[in-house]
Structures are given as structure tokens and as C-alpha cells.
Amino acid sequence: MRRTILAAFLLVGTVTGAAGCGGPAPVTGPSVSPSVPDSVPPSVSPSPSVPVTGPSAAPSAPSSAVPASLPDVHLPGVNDPGCRSDHPPVVLLPGTFSTVAGTYGPLATALTGAGRCVYGANYGLGGLAPVRDSATTVAGVVEGVLAATGADRVDVVAYSQGGLVLRTALRQDGLADRVGTAVLIAPTFHGTTSPLLDGVPGALCPACADQIAGSALLTELDAGGDLDGSVRYATISSRDDTVVTPVAAQSPAGPADRVTSLVVQDRCPQVRLDHVALPGDPRLIAWVGAALAAGGRPEPSAFPCAG
């Protein structure tokens, strides 16, 4: 049993040193476990520079069907239905055993500070439920964001399982024409071969079973190819990642005008970043901002080697 629990937490990279199960106030939005731990080390700098600019002006009048509120994710400035920007709204998707607040605090701060309207979707009881169910939840949040902002499309930043949730929602929940740019951080886009999954029962974590390379879900998605709609994909990975393996399989396969991928060590051989550290690293946050600003085509130099 101890091996099973340890494997489950290591799989998603949510236990970080002494922080353990500590985290923000319990999340009260739909389909979220109140005991989900944080996934970002507390020592991460919260204020990197992100090359995204723009005043808070509405691109178009919002729909009359604006929802009264969006799910509370316990991050200041996130899921504000009254936010307006010249840029597409950004939707954040976390991984397994994690939440938007636990994963994206520093990135959300950087993006909102740079004039972006930022939204987040928690799903699947902390990312445990079947990926198909989580994808349906995400599709509903995206439609709510579009209704609230009057935008035609959203951009998405997805970490770990979030990449597979997005892939499923694009294919099976009608989001292919609702997403412009997908920025993927170490995604389980093609699943993982990591032995960490060996000790996680499917009954405890259906999403874990869905993320095993060759699962029924992945086999079905692979039959239709990797790309959907006109979405542009930008993926960042690290060779230090032992959770989503092989690292080379994290990125979608597609032409250069649709898919941009960066392995951190190809740009900066000396940098060490494991799966847990990626979403909160200031250098990665700068790269995410550049990827969004460039419509999914960031230059490798957008990831600064100096930390």
C-alpha cells in the first residue's frame, strides 16, 4: 500500500520536500478534491518577466449568456468573468493529483500582470477521474470563458495530464475550433511508459490508467492523428523528467507550422529540471509567455539559460 501511494504521488509530481500535503485553501469548484496537494515547490519565484503586453480592452461585446461566475480556483485575478484584453483568454489545465492553484500560482501572476485574462479548470477530483470526464468538464469551462469574454477562441496552457485532457476535449468535445494556441508542459500527450504507474490501481485513479501508453483512450486518439482543427502546439520538455516517458513522445507529431517543441537541455545543457519543477520555473514561465505571444511559435532563445 505504501508503494502504491508513493507511486501515485510521484507520478504527478505533487509532493515536494517538506511541503508534503500542504497547500492553499480547499478548492470549492466542481469536481475538485479538497485535500489535493500542491504541485509547485514553495521556493519558486512568483514574478518572472513574461513578454506579453496589451491593454484591458474588450475585443468584442460579451454574450448576453454571460455566466454569473466561473469556478473558484483560489488564485487572485483568475476566473474573473469581467476581465477584458486584446489577447485571447488563457485557460490553465493542471495534472493528476493537482489543481490550478497548486500548479500555476507563479505563471498566473505573471500572465495577469502582463495584461492577459486568465482562467482555470479543475477537474476529475484532483485529476483522478477518467480523462474523458475531465475533458467534458474542460469543454464546459472553455464555453463559459468564451461566453463571458466575447472571444472567438481561447489559448490553453496544459501541464502533464492536462495535455491529454486537452487532446481528448479537442477531439471528442467539440473544442477543435475553440482553441488557437496550446502550450503544453511535459504533457502525457501520448501517455507514459514510466514504471511509477505499476503501483497505481485503476480503480483508485482511472486517469492514471488512461495515461498508460497504449491505453484504450490513447489507441482511439492515435487512430485520428495528433492534430485537431487549426490549433498550433508548443511543447516544452526536460530530459530530467522520469514521470512522462519517453520524453521524445511528449510532443504532438506534426509539421513545423503547427508544432514547435523544445527540450530544455537542447537549449541549455547545464539546466536540471524534473517533472515537478517545470511549471513553476521562472525560465519556463518566460518561455510560456513567449509561446503565447508568438501564437505557438516561440524561438528557442525564449527560454533563458540563466535561472
Distances (CA, A) of 85 to 26, 111, 141, 242, 302: 29, 12, 18, 38, 23
Is 50 exceeded by the pLDDT of residue 92?
yes
- Please compute the mean of the pLDDT values over residues 277-292 and round it to a whole number: 98
Q: How confident is the model at residue 34 (pLDDT cuts 50, 70, 90)?
A: very low
Mean pLDDT of 260-274: 97
CA angle 267, 286, 118 (to 5 degrees): 140
Q: Look up residue 234 and give its amino acid.
A: A
Mean local confidence (pLDDT), 57-79: 63
Q: Is the predicted pLDDT of residue 219 greater than 60, yes or no?
A: yes
Residue pointed to by grid coordinates 505499476 = 198
Distance of CA 67 to the CA centre of its chain: 23
Q: Are strands 179-185 and 232-237 parallel, antiparallel or unpaired?
A: parallel
Position 146 pLDDT exceeds 80: yes
Whole-angstrom CA distances from 113 to 76, 106, 161, 228 are 11, 11, 26, 31
Q: Enter the pTM of the model.
A: 0.81
Residue 259 pLDDT greater than 50, yes or no: yes
What does the pLDDT read at residue 69? 58
The pLDDT value given to residue 287: 98
Q: How far are the Cα atoms of 164, 240, 307 from residue 244, in angstroms, in the given order?
A: 12, 10, 23
